[in-house]
A and B are shown apart, each in its own frame.
Chain A
Amino acid sequence: MIEVVLNDRLGKKVRVKCNEDDTIGDLKKLVAAQTGTRLEKIRIQKWYNVYKDHITLKDYEIHDGMGLELYYN
């Protein structure tokens, strides 16, 4: 179990607990449930890399405590 921090730099900072083998799509579901935004509107990035929905966190090498950028579509 890892805990990921998502920050949109406009006031929304969310800590989400998830498994390493969850996909980005699952992470988006969890974030959507916590923030109240729609799942399709969320975009998770790291600098200019937009993370794709079907790839797992483990494959993106997202570790415990890592910060991701939260943007909206």
Chain B
Amino acid sequence: MANRTDPSAKSIHGTNPQNLVEKILRSKIYQNTYWKEQCFGLTAETLVDKAMELDHLGGTYGGNRKPTPFMCLVLKMLQIQPEKDIVVEFIKNEDYKYVRILGAFYMRITGTVTDVYQYLEPLYNDYRKLRQKSTEGRFALTHVDEVIDELLTKDYSCDIALPRLQKRLTLESSGVLEPRRSALEDDFEEEEEKEEEEPPALEPEKDYYRGRSPARERDRERKRDSKQYRDKDRDRDRDRDRDYDRERGRGRERDRDRDRDRDRERDRHRLRDEDYGRDREREGRDRERERDRRDRDRGRHRSPSRSRSRDRRDRERDRDRVRDGGDYRKRHSRSSVSPRRRPDDNHEEPKKKKEKKEKKSDGTDHPDPEIAEANRLRASLGLAPLRL
């Protein structure tokens, strides 16, 4: 009884609205605790409260494919079928991003083509971050506009097969929709004019222009987000580096690092105040860079825990010099440097191309037709050919 669709609900896409979610997934949601406890007897108003409590989106996760609360609320909306105005309100509200996404998702599954494009495209301008639960159960970072792009371009999202959407071009040519006007269009026009004046690449400038999007509130929010993220990151780096030093057991290095840690702790108190202030800034920046480098070359011995900041600075610079040979030249020479090419490359490449043409490495020309077909399928899926 509790799982029956509202009797006054209209059929959507020719079927009971709940059938838009597949049978297996639907049964899983009906058996889910969140559905049984929280989604019993929800109305449109109380659904809003539940939606405001959402803090992540996703499909099913884990070994036995448990549905997320987001999924349960989507099915609930399909069951009670709220009015279009309510759904539009969900989409238009600026405060709760997960309510927005819930409304957008519902609109995508149930709305007509024009509605979908009309209401979902303004959400392309929303840059806020979202938490998405992957199939393994881990969380991933995504953004509102990324999710909207998925909804509009792909035909499968959050374990629900989305109804077919006509391409925008077809609708534009039939006059139902106007051509899309992006919020960044003015910025692109300015860029084009600039490009006509100066030919060199404008890649770094593009990012700058993207920052200058019309709504100032969005900028402020993004700046706030990025600042918080940066500060948190720096603090985390400092703590993590200290732990990293202690835990990363690499034989002799561990002992050496442990000793150096102790030295560093002692020496830190010895540092004078002016050095201390400078030290921190450098440390933060260097540490972030170091973390990336550490992941890259594990073999190299590193000694981040030296007490003197100046020594470290020099060592970092030396490392930079050694590692980025080409970059170093770019950084310190005035003229532009063309990418260094070894004289052998020119001869090797045409030879390799010829060899490849003679033997097809994906086995699609095998004499046995079955194997050839299997190899063709594997090549289209991106797998290596069959080894016989």
| A residues lining the B interface (CB < 8 Å) | 1, 17-19, 22, 26, 29-30, 33, 38, 40-41, 50, 72-73
Q: Is the CB of A38 within 8 A of B156?
A: yes
- Chain A residues contacting B381 (CB-CB under 8 Å) are 26, 29-30, 33
Q: When the two chains form the complex, which single residue of B63, B370, B371 contacts A50, counting CB atoms closer than 8 Å?
A: B63
Q: Is the CB of B386 within 8 A of A1?
A: yes
Q: B378: nearest residue on chain A (CB-CB)?
A: A30
Q: A1: nearest residue on chain B (CB-CB)?
A: B386
Asked if B220 is at the interface (CB within 8 A of a chain A CB), the reply is no
- The residues in B between 19 and 38 inclusive whose CB is less than 8 angstroms from any CB of A are 24-25
Q: B384: nearest residue on chain A (CB-CB)?
A: A19
- The residues in B between 165 and 224 inclusive whose CB is less than 8 angstroms from any CB of A are none
Q: Is the CB of A30 within 8 A of B377?
A: yes
Q: B64: nearest residue on chain A (CB-CB)?
A: A50
**A29→B63 CA distance, assembly (Å):** 18
Q: B199 to chain A: closest CB distance in Å?
A: 45
- Chain A residues contacting B159 (CB-CB under 8 Å) are 40
Q: Is the CB of B135 within 8 A of A40?
A: yes
Q: A29: nearest residue on chain B (CB-CB)?
A: B381
Q: Is the CB of A1 within 8 A of B388?
A: yes
**A18→B65 CA distance, assembly (Å):** 27
- Chain B residues contacting A41 (CB-CB under 8 Å) are 24
- The residues in B between 325 and 377 inclusive whose CB is less than 8 angstroms from any CB of A are 370-371, 374, 377
Instruction: Pick from A1, A18, A40, A73 the residue with the most CB of B within 10 Å.
Output: A73
Q: Is the CB of B135 within 8 A of A72?
A: no
**A11→B15 CA distance, assembly (Å):** 26
**Main secondary structure on chain B at its contact with chain A?**
mixed
Q: B373: nearest residue on chain A (CB-CB)?
A: A17
Asked if B387 is at the interface (CB within 8 A of a chain A CB), the reply is yes
Q: A26: nearest residue on chain B (CB-CB)?
A: B383
Q: Is the CB of B386 within 8 A of A17?
A: yes
Q: A70 to chain B: closest CB distance in Å?
A: 13
**A73→B159 CA distance, assembly (Å):** 10
Q: B156: nearest residue on chain A (CB-CB)?
A: A38
Asked if B132 is at the interface (CB within 8 A of a chain A CB), the reply is no
**A1→B378 CA distance, assembly (Å):** 13
- Chain A residues contacting B386 (CB-CB under 8 Å) are 1, 17-19
| B residues lining the A interface (CB < 8 Å) | 24-25, 60, 63, 65, 135, 156, 159, 161, 370-371, 374, 377-378, 381, 383-384, 386-388
**A41→B156 CA distance, assembly (Å):** 12
Q: B19 to chain A: closest CB distance in Å?
A: 16
- Chain A residues contacting B370 (CB-CB under 8 Å) are 17
Q: B32 to chain A: closest CB distance in Å?
A: 14
Q: Is the CB of A17 within 8 A of B374?
A: yes
Q: Is the CB of A33 within 8 A of B24?
A: no
- Chain B residues contacting A40 (CB-CB under 8 Å) are 135, 159
**A18→B156 CA distance, assembly (Å):** 27
- Chain B residues contacting A19 (CB-CB under 8 Å) are 384, 386-387
**A56→B260 CA distance, assembly (Å):** 43
Q: Is the CB of A73 within 8 A of B378?
A: no
* Top 6 closest pairs, chain A to chain B, by CB: A1-B386, A73-B65, A17-B374, A29-B381, A1-B388, A19-B387
**A19→B159 CA distance, assembly (Å):** 29
**A29→B386 CA distance, assembly (Å):** 15
Q: B184 to chain A: closest CB distance in Å?
A: 34
Q: Is the CB of A22 within 8 A of B377?
A: no
**A72→B23 CA distance, assembly (Å):** 11
**A46→B17 CA distance, assembly (Å):** 35
Q: Is the CB of B383 within 8 A of A22?
A: yes
Q: A20: nearest residue on chain B (CB-CB)?
A: B387
| 12 further interface pairs, Cβ-Cβ under 8 Å (given A30-B378, A33-B381) | A1-B388, A17-B370, A17-B374, A17-B386, A19-B386, A26-B383, A30-B377, A30-B383, A38-B156, A38-B161, A73-B60, A73-B65
